[in-house]
């Protein structure tokens, strides 16, 4: 029978009449995935051992030996000298096994007053806290790069789009700063998330707490947790903090995918607004002339991965009875891959934004077509006493006329213009200039240069 | 040809040579969905009109007429006297059309310095701000009900489960308070979300701002917004605030589905831990004896709806170029249905929690089986100097022995116990009692009665 | 206490000591959603009544009265004279209640040998079978329209894109036929789905079958089901057929969203490849010149809705124990909305495809830029004995040279060309023409005109 | 500047003025993921080379050398002697590079008339075709195991549940066969999917076909494809076949998660219906008595992963313009992980089903409580001329009476029974037996033993 020759007894095997089937071992082992938590696992165990000693649950001398041995194991792992085994299921058992091999019965004391249920919750929180901080840093990097690019092309005018149709002229810098606002919200959400990550679960035991007189506040201090979980059943069942991070990442990827889409469009021959340097493009195996914005397409595509991971964990958690269930092991693949995807994509996007070369003249040419001063003309009429709806209708008819004649609004003579509305005077032409269209939009948030300048200053760029 | 006889000109129709095809009208109209925003739309228009007058963009006298007419329209809607028409596409056009019918050219001035793009963003934010506050209230209601039920059954002991296997005894009140912790995090997330909802977008125009000298800060004061959006392109393209609310709702539904699952299990004949009153159950059309916990099943099932809505809007937003695209209209069905589902499910769950009748004796009987004092026995051995791993193994063997013999740990004689470990003394039996198992778990978050009492006090129950 | 005055007894209320709380009634009632199934419910009941009579479970005379009364109810509903009540929970109970009011004790016999569990499964299958057939029809309509448009612009050449960069010239008709292939696969999937929808569940009772000597094969004949379900527990728990339809719809919406995206891009000023007639566009409330392809954006956006519904029902079904659970009621909103969305979007897309006006000259101009004959030039070199990789490299260098000099490949002199490769002869220029690029791609599936013609013929266009 | 020292020129690098940035290389490389396709890539290349020779596009002698070299590379990979490099981006380039290193200019000819776009589509289809066949085999294995277990416990009676409340007695074998029906539908869906996978895309080139006189039908024969794609643009853009497989897998995981849930419930102390052998359970690191059904929980949890992957690829595909975009590279991680997850979970589930030990007596005890003969009693009354609704109401009242008195229906005296309905005669007790309840449900699909036997025979068990 398969697996029956499994010689190495489980650390929890006392109650069992037979070893684990090999197929079960392979199916349930998570070490290939959670080995990534080794540093956190050791840090958590060190803090736990110190607390056990301080509370006289184990002798101080033994705790010191445990701490030293754990530090040695950490070094073994770093140096590649540690061999992880799927026989030992997960990172916790791998390290505990090694510890026991080093220290014998003393090593067997580490797991006093602890369960893997609170241990893995601790590891995950230590890990995610660190990663979110690093992602917040990367977000800042991308925001600064966007701001720097905005400054570099501060006065470049481009068509603003709605429905992918040219709508009104805007500053390219204003457009780029729209993404800065989005990323700022992403930062806020991640800061909120950290607050809920930053809670010590250790001490919750398997689900009910522990019978030993542990000092959770002390462990929290050692591991820099501002808060301690208040309910042991909740603490071992809870993966909200992962779900919240995945949600925040999904929203962040909405932003990255939109920025990627904008730049893919702008890189097309049809738009021709920007160029990416050769070093940031890839070619075709078949077509010798191709130069493709693959990195942007990949960033856009990776939104799928992140949305999928969020859905995955929501599905896992749905309808699970309390407290811990093994389904929770499925939290790690989506979390780890999301962390990697977010981190790599932010870094890559930052480089791309840094490297784009803006073709101002193409943007300027584009902005002259498309009757993008039509709103300004309507607004002019309003200033001359026409109601907005009438002004809108009048200008609509002018546009129709121009399309039929192949002309632009600013090319119509005053006489022609007055044929549409007698309220129009000579000063109308001031309202049809590009610069005017930008500068008049001065209210907070509008595309006027002064606004963009102020905002750049506010965000420290 | 269909639709060509469409007589009623669009308010934006000046530029168009032909009316809209009827099929297009039916396909694009959103009035059936967004009529729900009428109150917010009118409130926003009133603030806008006041600001226009204050800034002398329209005469004060006309603004007053507009405001009065809008108030009248509000009343028409409330009284059911307003007839919404899909000819007018959406709530904004329906109301503006009615206003113009009432006031003529004066009504045509309301839309000065405004676009539907910033208008709908405003309506959505006004709506969601209010709904989140109401949901936070409902969350509080459910938390209080859980706490009240916990107090009512304060000392009832039940099996705590991991992997749906009996694990350690816990207080039912402790189990219920686990949900209080979850709902508390939901509240925190929704509070964070409100901060990002609570930003005024009006004044962003179609995407670039407006040429009129509007005062956005004044509008913000009138509508009680603490913040004003800083970038017009972002303000009309952004649906983060909806996504964040849907995420928070999805996580909340993880909690509701778990609580529903727990109570469905407990209501089964096999568990028999609680009973729902007849008034909260439904019967079968075929089986006369059935009494089913349908409301709990529906709450559990509605998690699908909410997760789906989150994915729906993420998909909509993915890869959209800036700024506004009509795809964004698809934000409303998932948002509105989520608000309704969350609101109804919280209210229903609160009633169910209030109404459950706990069968203490069944819980107590269950807690006596399953060797749930095994951990305590291992802990006892640790106190007697055995390493935890050895203690765990020893007790594992005892459990195996008991299973074979059909006995409980506390039924073994001292002699039998000492056969497994000579460290065991007579005081071991104190460690095998149920009450002891609860009371010894005194560290913060453990299931000891004192902890539950303290936590109830902290949350004001 | 709320709801206690609920006077109307439930049809299943015998075992219950108290009426249903009003809140529970409102929360669990599905009549607002499932009233849509009235026709199917009645058709199923008529078949059931006929079978009961044939098997002498009820007298033939009574069955005739039941059938006539059900037909009358059908007419009441059609004429708007039937008033649905949430007191009666769902469509089944509404109709049974009305029947009993009409016929008294005779009406009380209809539900013999039946449960709502198999009844609703029947209604859903009758409904979906019909809707899928209608959707397959609509798919055919869109495919024919695409083929017709392909024929209309049979020889128009446009840039083929990869990575949204111009790649190789293709026929517009070839591009449009790509969508015909996709829709053909959608049809295949839906045909497969119908086979699994088209199975009679009635006769499965609540979950175990029925004690009456029913004739399921006879009911299947009456309702035109080729298959009868083989396991009663499965038959009442199964919603695979809905999930499969939602999956097929999601994939279909991938196609619609891509076609919408293509046409949105083509409608932009930058591409300028097609124009939509005014009647199929909408304007802006603020910008008088705007003409937006809203219908295409909405179709693209509605992909979110359909993907979300699929995830919703997957979530609902995950981990449900057998057999029927009330969670299953949550299958209807996603199903019904998907049917409506698919139906409306296919019809709308068909109209749009019919109405687009292709601007051939813009397409042709675009195809001349971008070195789209580079692959053909490499292929030429291969024919002259150069290995493909070397040929690719040589042409790559030529392109780089041309970019620097602002020239096209076909503009280089033979001397210049030979400077890159001495294998080049005068006949090279034949390989650089547009028409040649199209005509040479003659292998099955290539863009050559002959291929497009053959494919159009194959699909009967 | 990072990456500028990148010495190894890209195979497509002719047009590029600078090497690829290292960060871009790392970000875009897919070799870590797609190395899994090496066997398919080589098989496809061999068929391609043969066809090129047959069509005299390359000399037969050179094709033979290419084929031999590719076979040698295959062996290098199998023996672990091949070192994949992310410098070469993907599996295609890694193998082509190695080939060129072996054969020089001859190796440079392999990629004639081919693009990576049609090459990767081919690899994916070859891979998935094989995997689906293997999964269909595994499905068959699980179905046979379920049938075998059903036979082993053929006559064991258990409570059938609706709403997780006891409903009617069913045979355990009937319950298990419900899953056989589900898996049979999964097989049908996968067979349908294979038909759409089994189409040759090679020959579509980058998107437009190729200028060489290739013979696609010959390649199809070599690689055993019954169909050849009909449109080159579609063939390189299409990932329907992956989406369809992911959908079918998601539905399959609905079934696996439900079966897991059933068995987790049955393994609980409360149900106590089955026991898993120690070798298929895991213990707790803290609680010595625990024996947990982890494998079932993991299978249930893995539904999240699979649903997420489906959503991921739907998101990737949404709104992509034709033809190939690099986003498509994101198809591989969800596909590969789904294949692995489905394969492992089917195998594991089969072992679990094989190993469960059914505790008949617990099932039997459970079936006696819960008034599970109430429907049969109502049916009895119908046979005595009472209308079903009245019969349902009468039995409902009897049940209420029994609950109050703590009795079972079959324990009531004839006199008591007749107090509820004078139609009741002595033969009623025959209708209240368990065996009768099973045997009377004889109509197709009902739980009667004869039905289960017939169905087992039909499926060849």
C441–D169 CB contact, under 8 Å: no
Does the pLDDT at position D11 exceed 80? no
Q: D398 is in which domain, residue-wise?
A: 367-458
Of B278, B292, B295, the CB nearest to C17: B278
**Domain holding B79: CATH number?**
1.10.275.10
Q: Report chain C residues whose CB lies below 8 A from the CB of A268.
A: 164-165, 270
Same domain, B186 and B331: yes
Q: What is the pLDDT of residues D387-440, one digit of tens each?
A: 999 999 999 999 999 999 999 999 999 999 999 999 999 999 999 999 999 999
Structure tokens of C173?
Answer: 């008709």
Q: What percent of chain D has pLDDT over 90?
A: 87
* Residues of A annotated as part of the active site: 163, 284
What mean pLDDT is predicted for residues B441-453?
97
Does the pLDDT at position D445 exceed 50? yes
Structure tokens of A360?
Answer: 């101002």
Across the strands, what pairs with C275? C357
Same domain, B371 and B263: no
At residue B7 the predicted structure's pLDDT band, cuts being 50, 70 and 90, is low
Q: What is the pLDDT of residues A137-188, one digit of tens each?
A: 999 999 999 999 999 999 999 999 999 999 999 999 999 999 999 999 999 9
pLDDT at residue B8 in the model: 61
pLDDT at residue C362 in the model: 96
Same domain, C306 and C192: yes
CB of D313 less than 8 A from some CB of A = yes
CB of D164 less than 8 A from some CB of B = yes
CB of C164 less than 8 A from some CB of D = yes
**Domain holding C239: CATH number?**
1.20.200.10
At residue A5 the predicted structure's pLDDT band, cuts being 50, 70 and 90, is very low
ipTM over 0.85: yes
In the residue annotation, D163 being an active-site residue is answered as: yes
Task: Count the domains in chain D.
Answer: 3
Does the pLDDT at position D114 exceed 50? yes
Shortest distance between the Cα of A73 and any Cα of chain D, in A, equals 20
At residue D14 the predicted structure's pLDDT band, cuts being 50, 70 and 90, is confident
Same domain, B360 and B376: no
Q: What percent of chain D has pLDDT over 70?
A: 98
Report yes or no on B188 lying in a domain.
Answer: yes
Residue C33 phi, psi dihedral angles, 5° rounding: -95, -45
pLDDT at residue D2 in the model: 37
Q: What is the pLDDT of residues A436-452, one digit of tens each?
A: 999 999 999 999 999 99
Q: What is the pLDDT of residues B143-161, one digit of tens each?
A: 999 999 999 999 999 999 9
Of D4, D28, D287, the CB nearest to A298: D28
Same domain, A48 and A143: no
Q: Report chain D residues whose CB lies below 8 A from the CB of B166.
A: 269
pTM for this model (two decimals): 0.96
The per-residue pLDDT string of chain C (461 residues; one tens digit each, 9 = 90 and over) reads 333 344 566 777 778 877 888 999 999 999 989 999 999 999 999 999 999 999 999 999 999 999 999 999 999 999 999 999 888 889 999 999 999 999 999 999 999 999 999 999 999 999 999 999 999 999 999 999 999 999 999 999 999 999 999 999 999 999 999 999 999 999 999 999 999 999 999 999 999 999 999 999 999 999 999 999 999 999 999 999 999 999 999 999 999 999 999 999 999 999 999 999 888 988 888 888 888 999 999 999 999 999 999 999 999 999 999 999 999 999 999 999 999 999 999 999 999 999 999 999 999 999 988 899 999 999 999 999 999 999 999 999 999 999 999 999 999 999 999 999 999 999 999 999 999 999 999 999 999 999 999 999 999 88
pLDDT at residue C242 in the model: 98
Same domain, B228 and B268: yes
Of C165, C168, C283, the CB nearest to A291: C165
Report yes or no on D330 lying in a domain.
Answer: yes
At residue A282 the predicted structure's pLDDT band, cuts being 50, 70 and 90, is confident
Same domain, D312 and D391: no
Report yes or no on C2 lying in a domain.
Answer: no
Report yes or no on B4 lying in a domain.
Answer: no
Taking the C-alpha atoms of residue D18 and residue A455, their distance in angstroms, rounded to an integer, is 36
Q: What is the pLDDT of residues A291-311, one digit of tens each?
A: 899 999 999 999 999 999 999
Report yes or no on B66 lying in a domain.
Answer: yes
Strand boundaries in B43-190, DSSP class E? 157-162, 165-171
A374–C287 CB contact, under 8 Å: yes
Among the candidates A76, A91, A112, a domain finishes at A112
Pair type for strands C274-275 and C227-228? unpaired
Question: Average pLDDT, whole number, for chain B?
Answer: 94
What mean pLDDT is predicted for residues B117-122?
97
Same domain, A174 and A83: no
Question: Average pLDDT, whole number, for chain A?
Answer: 94
Same domain, B376 and B336: no
At residue B2 the predicted structure's pLDDT band, cuts being 50, 70 and 90, is very low
Pair type for strands D199-200 and D165-171? unpaired
Report yes or no on B7 lying in a domain.
Answer: no
Name chain A's partners: 3 or more CB pairs within 8 A: B, C, D
Q: What is the pLDDT of residues A78-90, one digit of tens each?
A: 999 999 988 888 9
Same domain, D285 and D426: no
pLDDT at residue D7 in the model: 53
C304–B288 CB contact, under 8 Å: no
Does the pLDDT at position A4 exceed 70? no
D180–C231 CB contact, under 8 Å: yes
Question: Average pLDDT, whole number, for chain D?
Answer: 94
What mean pLDDT is predicted for residues D328-332?
97
At residue B3 the predicted structure's pLDDT band, cuts being 50, 70 and 90, is very low
Report yes or no on C4 lying in a domain.
Answer: no
Among the candidates B54, B83, B112, a domain finishes at B112
pLDDT at residue A7 in the model: 52
Q: What percent of chain B has pLDDT over 90?
A: 87
> D233, C455 in Cβ contact below 8 A?
no
Which uninterrupted H or E stretch holds B22? helix B22-28
pLDDT at residue A178 in the model: 98
Does the pLDDT at position B40 exceed 70? yes
Taking the C-alpha atoms of residue A432 and residue A413, their distance in angstroms, rounded to an integer, is 13
Report yes or no on A36 lying in a domain.
Answer: yes
Site of tokens 């459990």: B399
Among the candidates B315, B332, B364, a domain finishes at B364
pLDDT at residue C2 in the model: 37
Same domain, A253 and A205: yes
**3-state percent helix, strand, coil for chain B, nearest multiple of 5:** 65, 5, 30
Same domain, B181 and B316: yes
Alpha carbon distances (Å) from B7 to B3, B4, B21, C271: 9, 8, 11, 33
Shortest distance between the Cα of A292 and any Cα of chain D, in A, equals 9
């Amino acid at each position: 029978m398969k697996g029956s020759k499994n010689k190495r007894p489980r650390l929890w095997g006392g109650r069992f009449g037979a070893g684990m089937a090999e197929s079960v071992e392979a199916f349930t082992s998570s070490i290939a995935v959670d080995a990534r938590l080794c540093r956190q696992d050791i840090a958590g165990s060190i803090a736990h051992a110190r607390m056990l000693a301080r509370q006289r649950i184990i002798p101080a001398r033994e705790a010191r030996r445990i701490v030293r041995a754990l530090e040695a194991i950490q070094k073994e792992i770093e140096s590649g000298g540690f061999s992880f085994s799927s026989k030992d299921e997960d990172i916790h058992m791998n390290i505990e096994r090694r510890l026991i091999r080093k220290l014998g019965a003393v090593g067997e004391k580490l797991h006093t007053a602890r369960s893997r249920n609170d241990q893995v919750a601790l590891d995950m929180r230590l890990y995610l806290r660190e990663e979110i901080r690093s992602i917040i840093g990367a977000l800042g990097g991308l925001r600064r790069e966007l701001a720097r690019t905005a400054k570099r092309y501060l006065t470049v005018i481009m068509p603003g789009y709605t429905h992918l149709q040219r709508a009104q002229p805007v500053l390219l810098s204003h457009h780029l700063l729209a993404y800065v606002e989005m990323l700022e919200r992403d930062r806020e959400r991640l800061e909120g998330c950290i607050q809920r990550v930053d809670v010590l679960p250790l001490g919750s035991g398997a689900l009910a707490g522990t019978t030993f007189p542990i000092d959770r506040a002390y462990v929290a201090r050692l591991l820099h947790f501002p808060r301690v979980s208040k309910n042991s059943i909740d603490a071992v069942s809870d993966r909200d903090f992962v779900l919240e991070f995945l949600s925040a990442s999904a929203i962040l990827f909405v932003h990255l995918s939109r920025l990627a889409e904008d730049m893919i469009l702008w890189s097309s021959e049809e738009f021709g607004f920007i160029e990416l340097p050769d070093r940031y493009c890839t070619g075709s195996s078949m077509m010798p002339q191709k130069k493709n914005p693959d990195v942007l397409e990949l960033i856009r595509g990776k939104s799928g991965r992140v949305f999928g991971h969020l859905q995955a964990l929501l599905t896992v958690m749905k309808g699970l009875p309390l407290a811990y269930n093994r389904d929770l092991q499925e939290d790690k693949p989506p979390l780890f891959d999301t962390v990697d995807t977010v981190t790599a994509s932010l870094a890559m996007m930052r480089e791309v934004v840094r490297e784009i070369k803006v073709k101002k003249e193409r943007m300027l040419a584009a902005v002259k077509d498309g009757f993008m001063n039509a709103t300004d003309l309507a607004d002019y009429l309003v200033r001359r006493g026409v109601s907005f709806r009438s002004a809108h209708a009048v200008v609509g008819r002018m546009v129709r006329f121009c399309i039929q004649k192949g002309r632009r609004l600013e090319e119509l003579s005053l006489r022609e213009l007055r044929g549409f509305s007698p309220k129009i005077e000579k000063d109308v032409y001031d309202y049809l200039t590009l610069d005017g269209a930008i500068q008049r939009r001065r209210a907070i948030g509008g595309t006027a240069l002064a606004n963009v300048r102020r905002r750049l200053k506010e965000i420290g760029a």
